[in-house]
Structure 1
Amino acid sequence: MTQQPFSRPGAFDLAGLGASAPTGAPGAPAGSAGVSGAYTLAIDEANFQTVLESSMSAPVILAFYAASRSPESVQLADDLQALSNEFDGRFLLGRIDVDATPQIAQAMQVPSVPLVVLVAQGRPVPLVDRAVPVEDLRTAITQVLQQLTASGFAGRHQPRSGEVDAETGEETLDPRYAPAQDALERGDAAGAVAEYQKLLASNPADAEAAAGLAMAQLLLRTEGADLNAARAAAAQNPDDVDAQTMVADLDLLGGHVDDAFVRLINLVARTSDADRDKARTHLIGLFGAVGGDDPRVIKARRDLASALF
């Protein structure tokens, strides 16, 4: 198979697909039960472009298969899914059913299945075009990743959502996060902080662990806090960073996200030097606890920039 390299994600003409990418990080589309995982997702027209763009920071492997007519192509995709967990974020696997998404197959010039293509920094390179043992797959991927690392391209993908139960359609917890979640269920915020820190130490790109850490730290900071006393202290000391951030923390926990953000943005606007930096840093931590794609966070980031400049 011959492919013309493209200089960046977006070179494929998908203008006629009609579907727009969902807000936030790419995820498995509806109907992909049993496909999505920590480093695997089903590809359709809605998320295809976003997945290609993610190859700018870390490799993406695309497995083209046809469930209705090529069992060996499905097995190859399944083997790659298992390897995606084994490689722990060194590549993201996108599974593409060419019968369900013929326009993607056409855009990628797929002649037949099975076909496995690696995309690194927007450039596709065919890897496998026939059924091969999983050991051979592992070896081929290892060699390619070593070559990319030697050239300075050594990024990792963050874990995505957990597996989807094929019977219930419900997402199950990624086992990586189970110890932290167990700690939270026990009311052990300090234990959850420690578990999330372990995850981030092994994979700093794990955005879900980073968000979990921010929330666990929030719970830890507010343990035993009295909301009425905190509000009284903040009212008496409007420029006291500790007093204001405590109320912001408690507001966030109580679901008053906008109130928490506005309080700290106003604090940033009227303070300076170390106090301003402390308030700004705390606010950014709250952004992490809520999630960077949340519309309230997006608005608050703009307001923070205005307050700073």
Structure 2
Amino acid sequence: MASLGLNIEEQKAVDRFRSQVAEPSMTSLVILDFWAEWCGPCKALTPLLEKVAADYADKGVILAKVNVDEERFIADQFQIRSIPTVYAMFQGQPVADLTNARTESQLQGMLDQLLAKLPIQPGGEAAPDLAPLLAMGEEVLAEGDGERAASVFAQIADMAPDNVQAIGGLIRALIVADRIDEAEETLAALDPALAADPAIERARSALELAKAKPDDSELATLRAAAAERPADLDAQFAFANAAFAAGERDAAADTLLKMVAADREWNEGAARTKLLQMFEAIGLEDSWVAATRRRLSTVLFG
């Protein structure tokens, strides 16, 4: 759960959730019950949840309750629209919706299925498997949802402060969310021992490119100058920089590839270097990067 840009009360709510739910869920399966004092069905459900959680305690199951009136911020993060709502949580993430399990046998059946699939270690200190969470963050980021991706990566970074993939992902997500200042602060606060990691270098490249983002009028001016002076490589390069920062990957790449074709040594190979920086910022596994790299190879080697 993201903790950047929160007020004091929201931060306290996040800290409570982390200690009561997220951290226990690293090695246990947490039944997370959203309820309220005025909710009749919630009161009817409570004895069932408490009994089953107690019966399954030796299997690594615990019960955590969130009063939606007292913890409105947490309820909003989970987009709670009705109560009772009950989730199963493991390693900081919802892994099942238990809301419709209203009998003991139904709840036991759902827990048995989860326990058979998840690496629950009662009383153990198993390190969380962050790979699925990192993959989720990258997937969300690839969809262009910077805010949600930042939330995922920030949660992973909370669990594993030295995880460079999470930190790099967080910086890139903040950039996509247009939270450039926060991205710079996150990078500046990084332990120098981690700063040279490829994941951080990728994020740094993305940040450098994003800081060149122009406003609409500036971009229009640079575009017009590039169109009017096709032989002016300075004008072409300025437009390519601005176009990429503004999210126009194709326009930036097309311009830089034409520059490489026209004069690959211009400004000590600046056009090719900029393309490589773009590839690093986006990620070499990206399909657009792979296609553009092939185009660059064709220009360079025929």
Give the TM-score normalised by structure 1.
0.42
Of Structure 1 and Structure 2, the greater helix share is in: 2
Higher relative contact order at CA 8 Å, sep ≥6: structure 1 or structure 2? 1
Give the TM-score normalised by structure 2.
0.43
Q: Greater Rg, structure 1 or structure 2?
A: 2
